[in-house]
Amino acid sequence: MAVKPVVVTIEEHYADADVFGTWRGYDAAKTPDTQRKLIDLGDERIAEMDAAGIDVQVISHGAPAVQKLDPETAVRMARTANDRLAEAVRAHPARFAAFAILPTPDPAAAAAELERAVTQLGFVGAMVHGLTDGRFIDDKRFWPIFERAAALDVPIYVHPAVPHQAVIDAYFADYVGEWPMLIRAAWGYGMETATAGIRIVLSGVLDAYPGTKIILGHMGEGLPFYLWRINQALARNKFVARSFREYFTEHFWITTSGFFSNPALQCALTEMGIDRILYSVDYPFVDNALGAAWLEGLPLCAEDRVKFLGGNARKLLRLP
């Protein structure tokens, strides 16, 4: 009799009540139902996991977490929020794991908080959201975060937030009033985060800290589809000793958060291989049931299915 694979989803969001109160306009796109689910770290969340066959959620704070706050406030709120999330994980240790909030406005403090979260709270990595002070995460001021993550052997999940206001004004102003999701999940999120992924490769941080592990959600923010063209075009510059493809397939993992498409999965499998792809839902912004329905017709053999559903995540994050 076949053993049921352990199902792990690793881009599943929550909102700390105190941090949530600082977001101001950022919660405009979240319905009351979504907001309620973001706050819950107990019975409702677990019931929805059970209904969708999910054994473990790796929980992370929704964007922009504390990254838009002043440094002192960000450090204080990240610490207390991580403490509260650790309590929720301890209450349900077989069902939850966690990525830390990082106070990126103070990069040294962010690195220290990452170490505390991993070594003292038992977190399995961290998630960062979009820009901090208008700067991408590859900026050298943020390299202490990568240095600490590599030393701890934990991944950094690079997650979207809304693009820079100048980008919104230049690219989306004519449409965003009628189509607010255009700057979010429909296009802006992926555009910004794919750019962040490319910049991480170009920055040299992966040479400086070769143990760095990066996770991108939403089927790699489109980068697997563009991988051949990016690799070929950048090779004309001879910008590094190794190709973009080599860096990307060595240092990056991708998840299926909010992206349940067999053709897209097949592309990612062809470009990256099954060991680099992890199942995720993007709860509660995407319903667990949508992911569960997709899994029924998943075009994977039994061995690859085990890896995809949870084996790869358990190996990367050293989960039981």
Looking at domain 8-317, which CATH architecture does it have? Alpha-Beta Barrel (3.20)
Q: In the structure, what pLDDT confidence band is assigned to residue 239 with cuts at 50, 70 and 90? A: low
How do residues 184-214 score in pLDDT, each as one tens digit? 999 999 999 999 999 999 999 999 999 999 9
How do residues 20-63 score in pLDDT, each as one tens digit? 877 654 454 467 888 889 999 999 999 999 999 999 999 999 99
Residues marked active site are found at 282
How do residues 66-109 score in pLDDT, each as one tens digit? 999 999 999 999 999 999 999 999 999 999 999 999 999 999 99
| Distance from C-alpha of 90 to C-alpha of 69, rounded to nearest angstrom | 28
What is the CB neighbour count within 10 angstroms for residue 95? 17
What is the CB neighbour count within 10 angstroms for residue 34? 17
Are 25 and 61 in contact by the 8 Å Cβ rule? The answer is no
Q: In the structure, what pLDDT confidence band is assigned to residue 165 with cuts at 50, 70 and 90? A: very high
Question: Which two three-digit tokens encode residue 228?
Answer: 């051949």
Q: Please state the φ and ψ torsions of residue 97, each to the nearest 5 degrees.
A: -135, 180
pLDDT of residue 31: 77
**Spans of all domains in the chain:** 8-317
What is the CB neighbour count within 10 angstroms for residue 157? 24
pLDDT of residue 308: 98
pLDDT of residue 237: 82
Are 274 and 308 in contact by the 8 Å Cβ rule? The answer is yes
Q: In the structure, what pLDDT confidence band is assigned to residue 242 with cuts at 50, 70 and 90? A: confident
